[in-house]
Each structure stands twice: as C-alpha cells, then as structure tokens.
Amino acid sequence: MTAGDFNPHILGFFCHWCCYAAADAAGVSRYQYPPNVRVIRVMCTGRIDLRFILEAFGCGADGVFTGG
Amino acid sequence: MVEAGRSPNIEILTSARLENLDGKPGRFTAIVHQEPRFIDDDKCTACGTCTMYCPMPVVDLFNERLDITRAPHIDYAQAVPTSYYIDARACLRINYETCNLCAQTCTAQAIDFSQKPRKLNLDIGAVVLAPGFGRIDPSVLKKYGYGRFHNVVTSMEFERLTCASGPTEGHVVRLSDREPLKKIAFLQCVGSRDEICGNGYCSSVCCMYAIKEASVAKEHDPDLEVVLFFMDIRTQGKGFDAARERAEEKYGLRVIRARIPRVDQVDGRLALTWTTDDGKSCSELFDMVVLSEGLSAPKDAEAIAEIAGIELNHYGFCKTCVDSPLVASRKGVYVAGAFQGPKDIPESVTQASGVAAMVSELLSEARNTQTVTLSYPEEDKAIESEGPRIGVFVCHCGSNIAGVVDINAVRDYAGTLPDVVFCRDTLYSCSQDALKGIASKIKGNRLNRVVIAACSPRTHEPLFQETLKSIGLNPALIEMANIRDQCSWVHSQEPEAATEKAKEIVRMAVAKARLLEPLEQTTVDVSPTALVIGGGAAGMTAALCIADQGFECLLVERSDKLGGNLRRLVWTMDGGEASEVLDNLIKRVDGHPLVCVMLEAQVEDVSGYVGNFTSSIVKAGQPVVVDHGVIVIATGGREYSPTSYQYGVNKRVVTQLELEKSLASGKGILKNIKNVVMIQCVGSRGEDMRHCSRLCCTQAIKNALKLKGIKPDIRIYCLYRDMRTYGFSEDLFKEARKRGVIFIRYEPDRRPEVIERDGRIKVRVFDRLLKDEIDISACLVVLSVGITPGANDVLANVLKAPLTPEGFFLEAHVKLRPVELASEGIYVCGLAHGPKPLDESIAQAKAAAAKAAIPLAKGKAQVASIVSRVDKAACIGCGICESLCPFNAIRLFRVNKRRKAETITASCKGCGICASHCPTLAISMGGFTDEAIMAQIHAFAGERCV
Amino acid sequence: MPEGKAKKSGAVMVLGGGIAGIQTTLDLADLGYYVYLVEKKASIGGVMARLDKTFPTNDCSL
C-alpha cells in the first residue's frame, strides 16, 4: 500500500468549547481539509473515557483525534 | 454577543443614533434616529447570495479598507444581528432606481427597498454611554509615512492581516507587492503621549497589543525578525508582564527603547533611525512598519456630550472623578469603557458590569416592570416515554449546504435509519417560517426525538430547543448533525465525499438521538442575601451597591474597624482627600438598613452552591451560621514590606505611604531636606514578587508633586524601570518632569543601592548615558513598594477557589469575566483580585455587586440540565470523582456507614471528568451518556464494526 | 400617574454596541431591566469583533 492509497477513517472527540468551536471556525473561514474525520462532540475532553478510544479502534478506526 | 441577540429583553437598534435626551433620572425620553437596512432581519438567512450578485463594489470598512465587498453585505460571518444590510451610498437601486438584482435573487425575499428611516421615542429610566474610542487622526500618522508608503500600516490593519478570516486569510505579506516579510518594526506611542497631536495621555493598551501582534506574526512565520520600539513598556495589566516576558523569550522579540521620529523609504524598504537612551545612534531597514496607534476620544464625542448633556475632559473623553468613575456629569447618565478613558478589555468589561449595578441602584423600584418572561406549555411526558420516533430535518441553508451536499440523497438515506419515522428537507430551517413548519410536523407525526442536519449546535441548538419547548417537548430531545460548518463548507471541492460524510454524520446523530432522554429542568430558590468578605473600600462599595439594589448584605471585616488600606491613604490620585471618601463610605454603611456589619469576624467555613450558601463566621470565638445566596471576596492586599535598601535600618528610608502620612501630619519632615530619591519597583516586577503593582508609578509622582508643591526648590530623583503612568495619569508624569523631577532609568540587573556612610545616605545608581555609577546624596529615600496579596490562601482553601501564582484570586476569564470566579456565585474585587488604584477598585466593586445581584434579582437559579448523576447503588465511595471535579460539584456523604458520591447539580458544569474516571461506571452524564457515545462510535464504524 | 412624582421606568438605553455596551446590556437584562442597545453601525461587536485571536470564535467573546 502506498501512502497515496491510504484513506484513513478517523474519529474525533471534540470539546464543545474549544476544538469543536475551532472546527466551526475553520468552516466559517472556508478552510478545506480532507473529509476523513467524523466528530463526536463532548462538553469537555474530560468526558473521554479510555473505553471510548479502545472501542473506536476496536470498531476499525485508523486514528482517534481528541481535541480540547 | 449571540446572547444579546436572543434575549427577549434586549432590543438591538442598529444603524441608529441618539438625537435628543429629555427628562430626569428615572424618567427620560430619548429620541433615536434609525436608518433602514433594506434587508428584513427576520427573513434574511445570511446566505450571501445578494453579495454574490451585486455589481457594486464598496470598500470593506470592517477589514480596514484592505478588502472589497458589495453594497449588500454582512460585516463578518458571525455578526449580530446575523443579517445582511445594504450600503445605501453604493446601491444602484436606491440611488438610480435600476438593477434590483439582489431582490430578484434573494430566495428568502428578505430585500425590502420600501424601508424608510424611522424615529423612535424611548421611555427610559437611565442612559449608559459606551461609544468606545475613536481613531487617531490620519494627519498624525502621515509623519510616519502612512498613506505615502504602502508598507506602513496601522496596528488595526495589521490585526486584520493576521486574522484567519481577514483579507489575506492570515498570511502576513507586504502590501506593496504581496511578498512575504522578513523584518518588521512596531512603533509605539503613535498618537499617544504626543503633545503635538494634542493627545498627551497614554492609551494604556498599545504596549500589550503590540506584543500580541508581534507574537502572532512570529507564529505565522518563525523566521520573521521583529523589533519593537518602546519609550516605557507599559504592560501593567494583571498577568501582562508575565505574558510579555514569555513572548519576548519564546519568540525572540527584539525590544529597543527609543522613540522613532519618522519613517523614510529607501530602495523600496523602510528606514528607521533612532537614538537609544545610552546615547547611541542607529539605523536599520525594514519590510513593514506597524504603527501602534493609540485610542482617541470617539469622533462623535462632542455631539454625544451635547445631546446627552454631559461634560467632557480636556482630551474629549467623558469627565468623571476618582470616587465615582462611572458617573457622567448629568444625573442618570453613566459611562463605561474607553469613552471614560483609554483602557483594555478587562477594565472595560469591569466598568460595564459596574455601570449596570449603578443603573440598577437608581431603578431598583422599577425592576422587572418592563421585562417579559417567556412561558412554555407543560411537557408531554406521555409522548416522551414512548419508544423513539425520530424525525430528521435536512437543511439546504440556501446553497451553503445544498450547493455541495446532495440533500435529497442525505434525506432519503436518513429515512432508512432505525427508528426514523419522518424526514424532510427544508430551505432554511432556522427561519421563522421553517421553525413553525418543523413544530407542526413534530406534533402531526408524534415525533419524540428530533435530528436537525444543518449547522453547528453551538450557534443554533438553543433556537431548535426553543421550538421543542414551545410544543411541550423536553429541549434535550434534539440532536444536531453539523453538515455545514464541518462538512459542506470545508469540502466544497469534493461534493461526493461531502455527501457521504453528511450521511455518516446524520447516521451518528440518529444513533445518539435514539438514546436521548429528557433532562430535568430544575430551578432552586435563592437565599436573598449577599456575604461580602472584607470591609475596605472595595468591600464597602460592593456591600452598599448590593444593598442599594434592594438586597440584604452581610459585611464581614477581620479587624476592629472598617476602611482597610484606604485608612492609610491621604490623597487620592487626583489630589482629593482620601479621608472624605472613607468617611462617606463608613457613614453610608453604618446608616444603611440593609447592610449588617460584623467586625473582628472571620469566615471559617463555606458550603453549598450559588443561591444556597451556608457559612460559619467566627466572632469572638463564637461561630455564627448564616445562609446567603452569593459571596463577594474583597479581602484586599497589603503594602509590601521590604527588607532591602536599608529599610527598617535607617529611619530616613520610608515607603510612599509613610511619606504621605508624615506629609499630611505636618511639614516637619521636610525641614533640612534638599534631596529626595524615590526608588520604583521595590519588591515588584521580579525583585521579590513577580507582578507589577500597577499603582506605584502614579503614587510616586503624586507624592513628588506634593513635595514640590510644599517646597518648590527640593530636588527629587526618581529611579525607575518603566514609568507606568497609564491613561490620564500621564499628565501628572509630564507635570513632574516640567517641575524638574529627574527621572533615571535602571535595568533590573543593576538595581540601585542605598549606602550609609558617616550618618549620611547615598543612593548609587548606574547612569546609562554616562555609562558609570553615580552616587546621589539623599536626605530622604522613598521606596515605592508594591502590593502583596493578603493571606488569601486561607480563604481560598475555605472556598476551594484558585489563586494566581502571585497569590491573588483567579478570575474565571481574564478578559471577559474579570470579577467572577470559576465557581458560580462567588465574585472578587479590589486588591484581592490584583493591585490597582482606588478608582479601578471602586469600579470593580460595583461590577462584583452587579454580578452578585443577578442571582438575587432572579430569585431562582436555573440549574443546567447537562449534569452528572451518580447511581448510588453502583458507587463505591472511592472519592476519585470528588477529587477530580474542577467545580467542587461532587460531595461525599455517608449512608449506613458507606461513603457515597453525589452531584451538586447547581454547581455542575457538565464536563464529565467524573463520569470518565468512575471505576464502577456509576456516573452518567445527561445528554452525553456512555451508551449514547458508544452508539455514536458504532454508527461511525457502520458495517466495519464487529 | 400623579404629576411631578412620576414613577421610574424599568427600561434603559445603552449607547454603543462594543464590548462595554454589550456587557452592560447583558447584565442589565439579567438584573431585570428592558434594554435598548443603540448602535451606530449595522452590527454590534465594536472593535473587539475585529481583533484577531479573540475572534472569530464568538463564544470566546460573550
């Protein structure tokens, strides 16, 4: 597999107050980025339980992005 | 800001100006003239089609003329009101009756050329003036080449250049050829501290914002060389010095102490020439020069003053005095923000809250007479408890989503998802019409869970929650799928991938929606009393202000009398008698029926949460238990007590306050005194305490002028690092120089020394110009000692409130919530928050009183619904959650000898740290349960999940 | 209403929709008063809305 073929499936856990807001701001500014990430909004990254991350990998996520 | 747009009790009148003000405090009539927007706020969906089709370019004033927009436009994407407007000066339809393209292309039919200017008669009880500040006159900027050289820009222009949503999308380039920059200079004091242009004052904010802009520029391009030219570095704000030092170190900013007189252009680059304070003459070339322009009085200050009937000071700002900084010269008219004097955001926000308290004092009898409260139908529990019946609404958002994402495909896909019984696409789901349609579809189809696939829940969830509430559904039963901000807008070149992503986002939202449960909407009664801790100027002001708003107040003071540090002060900064201010405060406190004073008392224990605190106050060994709704911390600070400079050894070495006291008691101290040396920053700015004490520079100058007044031929030397006489205090600094006070700057690594020999004292200091140490013989050495925090750690422990590294109370947000602590219901003001002069303490005390009065005025505290809940049966009482909770919202208690955790819902902020760390999974988060998040994870994986 | 001793109004006018004006307005509304926020421009926010790093994330503002 070359780097060009790899199309990772990434799950993000975004803090409502900062990272999620930043992702919105990226939209407002029309920044373009690859459509590989899906986002679960949480009220704080403190909410993220290790089990969520393990479950995501268990379900086939290629990467997990926590942003807060 | 969005909040202001949503409140039913706030009416925003844009493109409007005050034309007349009649009446008296409590009963004014104002005439307001409002220009039409030509676009109906209610119908406009902010899609931007009008801007796209309009043929008339206009300069974008919002972006400092660095960009072009069209006649119909919006200032910025998140503007409030979130509605476009038409610039009447450029519009062809308005001026020539032609074109009309925008009206034809607006699908929402929001464009309305029939709008006319209107006059409104407003019946009001009070007026608050907050028109902000004006810009420095372009003629002042001209001498720095502004207007002649492309690459000389103002700091506001530079701010737009570094902004990601600005005209260059955040790329800092030379405006002449759009090439990247290599070397850039910031010139300070442009239009401030400048007699020639008439602005003798210091603008107070430019030093810090220049550092910020320089840091941002360095972040964009680490190879950029940045040079800042200062006279004095005035970063006296709370935490500012530390931030500046960090920035200088991290980004390698070069700081030069010089004032640049002019800018020349040489071979397309900009040449600066300067002389440093050790006498060296230098010259260098730069690619760009940023002029740190100061704040001037608003352009329409005179017009406002005339209409509102108030006086301006000699610089054209609103005139106020030290003991009532928020009061304009006409009764019932108040002032806040930069119009009162140049100031930074935290001080503006503080004054704004303070002024609200003053209005509230004046109008307390009329509270709640003109406000409306929204009422909602009873919740339909029967429908809610049925199995999930999900409705999905997919929004086109004009072309914002539909232009990229295949809406029909997403809608049809949603119909195939489990428990979805209804789906529909809408043109603009947030428009009033669409909301009505959504409500009727929910009712008609007995939907009990709703997914809105549109924009961000951050901005629009409250709107849709409101719709649910209006038809008797719990607002927690909605989930938004953000297919605009995080999908169509960021993948506009990949419509197919964006459509796939939108489908998956909807799938995840539906998976969560299936598990949504109603959340309790609870309110708690508020105990209508305030506890104010500390009886100094700030504490007394706060207590009186709360009482004048009609609420009981308990004022607790540790010592045997009221007054605090104000007792030691003789003169205020403007030369007034401090004792008058003090006596007046004490008299009012003693005479106020709603203020109860407890002297020689201390708060030993506090429990509870906003609205329902219970405290134990110990007086003469006896604890008294009181219930109260809010807490104001006003415990003050202390004069730093130095151990250096022969203080305490030689009685001719005194502090500024000691000097003040002896000056007041008689002129005896001045007998045989010819030379006085003042030493600044004793204890402050890295000597013993890290922070700048903010007020000592002005205090020293005040006393120097006092000395000169009594004995004009006295010689005064002032040894300083940066003279921080910010704002209008700069006038005093200027006066002191004129009267012959000699200022000598020293570097922190070469501090002055006090030497005693044969009963005489000398101060040894390194003279930068002579490049040698000089000895100044002194009859009196006056130390400008800083302000050190009181014993805040004890109270901080009781309140579980965080302190700054310096030991002052830490506010919830340094800029935007300067008087609130992170825990709700606790507020701070005065020296307990940080060093500041009397007028700022008073304004801050008023601000704390406003914030404290809000829960008291409401009578009920709304408890947030996204909170944690502990399953008592599963809880093992380990206490991990309690120790991790940043808001003290979890307490442990005993049930049959077993420890159990419990959420104090009123204090819970819903962060979920407790839930993610509970070893027995006993804690569940409202709206963000383990099950719901797991379901989202599984929906994310789709078929890949095994 | 008796002449001369008119009752006080529970409404307030705030002139200027910058950071100071907005904060005053929000606090007054929270304290139980009706507020007219009068702004010269077409949108509120004032200078602070134009500052990088505090904006455009509007929840970093108010």
CB-based burial, B261-299: b 16+ in 10 Å, e otherwise: eebebeeebbbbebeeeeeeeeeebbbbbbbbbbbbbbe
Residues above pLDDT 70, as percent of chain B: 98
Task: Answer yes or no: is A2 within a domain.
Answer: no
In angstroms, rounded to a whole number, what is the distance separating the alpha carbons of residues B850 and B827? 10
> DSSP for B789-820?
E-SHHHHHHHHT--B-TTSSBPPSBTTTBTTB
In angstroms, rounded to a whole number, what is the distance separating the alpha carbons of residues B9 and C32? 8
> In this complex, how many residue pairs, one in chain A and one in chain B, have their CB atoms less than 8 Å apart?
124
Contacts of B67 (CB under 8 A, 6+ apart): B59, B60, B166, B167
C45/chain A closest Cα distance in angstroms? 17
**In one letter, which amino acid is B529?**
T
B687/chain C closest Cα distance in angstroms? 32
In angstroms, rounded to a whole number, what is the distance separating the alpha carbons of residues B348 and B801? 24
The pLDDT of residue B668 is 66
- CA distances to B163, B824, B858 from B156, in Å: 11, 35, 40
Structure tokens at B674: 């010819």
- Average pLDDT score over chain B: 92
Task: Answer yes or no: is A30 within a domain.
Answer: yes
Tens digit of each residue's pLDDT (9 = 90 or more) over A15-37: 998 899 889 888 877 889 999 99
Please check whether residue B570 is in contact with residue B661, taking contact to mean a CB–CB distance below 8 angstroms.
Answer: yes
Band of pLDDT at residue C57, cut at 50, 70 and 90 = very low
In angstroms, rounded to a whole number, what is the distance separating the alpha carbons of residues B428 and B431? 6
pLDDT at C60 over 60: no
Please check whether residue B625 is in contact with residue B615, taking contact to mean a CB–CB distance below 8 angstroms.
Answer: yes
In angstroms, rounded to a whole number, what is the distance separating the alpha carbons of residues B376 and B385? 19
Quick one: which of B135, B146, B134 has its CA closest to B187? B146
At residue B442, what are phi and psi to the nearest 5 degrees?
-60, -45
At residue B945, what are phi and psi to the nearest 5 degrees?
-75, 130
Contacts of B111 (CB under 8 A, 6+ apart): B38, B39, B40, B50, B72, B86, B102, B103
Q: If 0-12 CB within 10 Å is exposed, 13-18 middle and 19+ buried, where does residue B541 land? A: buried
**Can you tell me the mean pLDDT for B898-916?**
91
Task: Answer yes or no: is A19 within a domain.
Answer: yes
Which residues in chain B are contacts of C37 at CB distance < 8 A? 4, 10-13
Quick one: which of B166, B154, B153 has its CA closest to B296? B154
DSSP bridge pairs for B271: B264, B285
Q: Which chains touch C (3 or more CB pairs under 8 A)?
A: A, B
pLDDT at C4 over 50: no
- Architecture of the domain made up of B381-513: 3-Layer(aba) Sandwich (3.40)
Structural domains of chain A, count: 1
pLDDT at C3 over 70: no
- Under an 8 A CB cutoff, do C59 and A17 touch? yes
Please check whether residue B124 is in contact with residue B131, taking contact to mean a CB–CB distance below 8 angstroms.
Answer: no
The pLDDT of residue B174 is 87
Q: Which residue of C has its CA nearest to B11?
A: C36
Per the structure, the complete domain to which residue A45 belongs is given by 9-67
> DSSP for B43-89?
T-----HHHHH---EEE-TTTTTSSEEESEE-SSTT-BS---EE-TT
Q: If 0-12 CB within 10 Å is exposed, 13-18 middle and 19+ buried, where does residue B859 land? A: middle
Task: Answer yes or no: is A31 within a domain.
Answer: yes
Tens digit of each residue's pLDDT (9 = 90 or more) over C16-51: 999 999 999 999 999 999 999 999 999 888 777 766
The pLDDT of residue B45 is 75
**Can you tell me the mean pLDDT for B418-428?**
94
**Can you tell me the mean pLDDT for B587-591?**
97
Tens digit of each residue's pLDDT (9 = 90 or more) over B247-295: 999 899 999 999 999 999 999 899 999 998 888 899 999 999 999 999 9
DSSP bridge pairs for B486: none
A-interface mutation test, from B916, B923, B925, most A Cβ less than 10 A away: B916
Band of pLDDT at residue C55, cut at 50, 70 and 90 = very low
Residues above pLDDT 90, as percent of chain B: 76
| A29 CB within 8 Å of a chain C CB | yes
**Can you tell me the mean pLDDT for B685-693?**
91
Tens digit of each residue's pLDDT (9 = 90 or more) over B170-215: 778 888 888 889 999 999 999 999 999 999 999 999 999 999 999 8
The pLDDT of residue C62 is 37
Strands B225-230 and B183-190: parallel
Structure tokens at B110: 């929001």
Structure tokens at B481: 């799928």
pLDDT at B519 over 70: yes
Structure tokens at B724: 């921080």
Same fold, B138-293 and B640-786: yes
The residue to which tokens 């200091």 are assigned: B765
- Under an 8 A CB cutoff, do B360 and C6 touch? no
**Can you tell me the mean pLDDT for B600-608?**
93
Fold of B640-786: FAD/NAD(P)-binding domain (3.50.50)
At residue B744, what are phi and psi to the nearest 5 degrees?
-125, 125
C58/chain B closest Cα distance in angstroms? 7
| C57 CB within 8 Å of a chain A CB | yes
Tens digit of each residue's pLDDT (9 = 90 or more) over B841-851: 999 999 999 99
C-interface mutation test, from A16, A24, A30, A41, most C Cβ less than 10 A away: A24
Is the model more confident about B479 or about C3? B479
**Can you tell me the mean pLDDT for B748-773?**
92
The pLDDT of residue B898 is 92
Interhelix angle B730-738/B696-710, nearest 10 degrees? 40
Is the model more confident about B479 or about B866? B479
Residue range B138-293 in CATH 3.30.43.10: no
Task: Answer yes or no: is A17 within a domain.
Answer: yes
Structure tokens at C51: 């500052």
Which residues in chain C are contacts of B345 at CB distance < 8 A? 19, 48, 54
- CA distances to B202, B296, B444, B739 from B745, in Å: 19, 28, 78, 18
The pLDDT of residue B512 is 97
Band of pLDDT at residue B160, cut at 50, 70 and 90 = confident
Q: Which CATH superfamily is domain B525-636+790-860 in?
A: FAD/NAD(P)-binding domain (3.50.50.60)
The full set of domain ranges for chain B reads 2-124, 138-293, 381-513, 525-636+790-860, 640-786, 868-925
Task: Answer yes or no: is A49 within a domain.
Answer: yes
The pLDDT of residue A1 is 46
3-state secondary structure of B723: coil
In angstroms, rounded to a whole number, what is the distance separating the alpha carbons of residues B912 and A49? 9
C49/chain B closest Cα distance in angstroms? 8
- Under an 8 A CB cutoff, do A17 and C56 touch? no
Tens digit of each residue's pLDDT (9 = 90 or more) over B26-39: 999 999 999 999 99
In angstroms, rounded to a whole number, what is the distance separating the alpha carbons of residues B868 and B907? 11
The pLDDT of residue B687 is 82
Band of pLDDT at residue B533, cut at 50, 70 and 90 = very high
> DSSP for B543-556?
HHHHHHTT-EEEEE
Structure tokens at B675: 């030379």
Interhelix angle A50-58/B930-941, nearest 10 degrees? 20
DSSP letter for C43, please.
S
Please check whether residue C31 is in contact with residue B855, taking contact to mean a CB–CB distance below 8 angstroms.
Answer: no
The pLDDT of residue C1 is 40
Which residues in chain B are contacts of A47 at CB distance < 8 A? 911-913, 915-916, 925, 928, 933
In angstroms, rounded to a whole number, what is the distance separating the alpha carbons of residues B14 and B859? 32
CA-based diameter of chain C, in Å?
Answer: 54
At residue B586, what are phi and psi to the nearest 5 degrees?
-65, -40
CA-based diameter of chain B, in Å?
Answer: 99
Band of pLDDT at residue B298, cut at 50, 70 and 90 = very high
- Under an 8 A CB cutoff, do B501 and A27 touch? no
| Domain range B868-925, CATH class | alpha beta
In angstroms, rounded to a whole number, what is the distance separating the alpha carbons of residues B533 and B493? 60
